[in-house]
Chains A and B, each alone.
Chain A
Amino acid sequence: MLSNLFIFVNNYLDRFLVLSGLRKGQAYWGTVYDSVTKQPLDPVVVRLVNAHTGKVAETCITGITGRYGFLVWPGKFKILPRKSNYAFPSQKVSGNKDGVYENLYHGEFFEISEDSDVVPFNIPMDPVNFDWNQKAKEQVVKFSPFWEHLWRRLVSLLFWFVLILALVHIFFSPSNFVYAVLGFYVAIFFLAMVIPKPRRWGRVFLGSDKNPASEGLVELSFPLLPDTAIAKAEIMADGKFFLRADPGKYLLKISTSLSREDKELQKTFSIKVGQENVINRNLLLK
């Protein structure tokens, strides 16, 4: 499918543009983290509250890497995260960035104003007491926010250093090689302006007529364990769904009924998830 080929290429191009510093990284999810150590927190029960009704619109639990996500319709919301031994909103971190994370959230109302989209805030929480789970999972999750940040900075610095070097060479010792390097940079700047940011959600269509599937369940499993669903998501009325997964190969099953008892399997896809860690392709049932 051409649209999926575009999505695939777009994902890789975006990753390069973000690494080079030409484009701000888009979050495909939010992360709840310890405001002091910057380590991701789990399990955090994250509730999305509708500002108009005061009711909980969605609830999810963060994964071992602290990630969470909601795909919601336009509206006004706020987020309430809760975890034992941690307090929110953070008193230790204020503002929109803290040197490691950006797009920080502190309990304010926000709006999803256009189409249904993913909520991507990073949420700092303050440690109050010792948390056994945070200590125990250091053996399971190797995450160093300092080195992650440093790596991205180094790649970006190298990108700009090569550009400056090429510009200097143009004046003092121009060559075909230097022209080629500058041509490459022109192409990259152009792409940074014209290509859209990759989307954060997948979409199910009934067929090539592009009518969206308006109800159903999407389930992700390992190819060797097809009967154990490791991730599930409901398909929204516009056919969109939000599913996070680590990079790898999976089976994706789409069912037309929301009830497990009445599940009627429509189709199973073999898919590959890339570094964007979400499934953002189009899926046709027929």
Chain B
Amino acid sequence: MRAVENALGIQIPDNARLIRNIIEAAQYVQDHVIHFYHLHALDWVDIVSALDADPADTAALAQSISDWPKSSADYFQTVKDRLSAFVASGQLGLFANGYWGHPAYALPPEANLMAVAHYLEALDWQKEIIKIHALLGGKNPHLQTYLVGGMAVPVNPNEQSAINAHTIARLKSWARMGLDFVAKVYIPDLLAVASFYKDWAGLGGGVGNYLAYGDFPQVGDDPNTFFLPRGVIFNKELSPPKPLDEQAIKEYVAHSWYAYTEGDQVAKHPSEGETQPNYTGPQPPYDFLNTDGKYSWLKSPRYQDAPMEVGPLARMLVAYASGHARVQEVVNMVLDTLGVGPEALFSTLGRVAARGVETLVLAEQLENWIDELAANMGRGDWAVFNGDMWEKKNWPDEAYGWGSTEAPRGALGHWVHIKNGMIANYQAIVPSTWNASPRDANGQRGPYEAALIDTPVADPEQPIEILRTVHSFDPCMACAVHVVDGRGREVTRIKIV
């Protein structure tokens, strides 16, 4: 959408900018919480140990870190009973075959029980907060309201089927519900859990280069006004980030199952990118891939020929180094609470913490954008769509476009080449392609691979340490399914080393 708007030179109305910001911020808040509790927490939280917790001690712990109301001994007793009944059934379902009891689990039983309670609360909470998407886009997931040129959800304070004052009130109610949970549950839990795992502030750093396209324009589509700024950091330098040069993004296929017309050693800018499958791996079923050759369905995107980490850590580092006041404030609060310095950010724990910082900052900001939308409505500005280029007859014969956004898991770019009213070429570099990329033609590892180097593994048969680092990136299972295989292989490799 932004790629086409860029190609055709479309400016969207201010309300469309705000509705996009609201939808995207709600996505961040919901998605990051799901990641923390449901996709990553059980790498740190031993759910079985929670059965040994004293509910009164758990209540004391919970009340010491937050004024969240669900914190009584009775409440935690109820959660413990529910968990006990589940375990006693002998059917452990999603939790069977976990690494429970692994020596790398460091939380006391009370912290584990508190985390389990919030795991369950967050599951109920996430389906509520994301109703923001349903209200503005019809449904979640896969909402339907984005148009090239604006949004399809109309604004009219005097109509029942458009965004009106009632819509605004509902949005604000969910925004506050979002902020409440993030500020009173997620952030205190994050700090409590992290305090037991400070050794992970020195592990899993990876490539040390960070790229953020930035997003959430405050004026028009001007990158200079992005709420989360754009920029590039090399070698963990926290001096002001380098400006982004989109032309410096290129993709290799040296170790990817694709072929380039000019040979597999070259790197190509996405605007002239190719996607020609060239599978050279073993015929399934197989146990191992040959990593000397091609071994991934992902290409290897590089910026100025360097591998880049993208995601919440990249965004928060760029914002921190750019002087974003609120990000600096929250990052410093986290560092002070844990008693570590800024160097701790370049790690697995830093990645987990940055996600929490970002969630809080955006949850706070969400209501401001809703207020801005309401103010526009009050001024009689109801425009949501710019139709100048809706009809193909208005298009140039040929156009190139680049559209960028920041998905919760990282920088997302689309490149489109339009010719005679049709798509001549379309390329996307998604966040997990940056992070999970295989080695490039120069032998440089991507962020996942680099982050796993020197990770100590206590028990190669139960490599929970590997999971902690890979999961900290929020891998996109759907876009990089084969990485699951790669994860298994990495374990074997580390055993050999």
Say if A and B assemble together: no
**Chain A residues packing against B (C-beta within 8 Å):** none
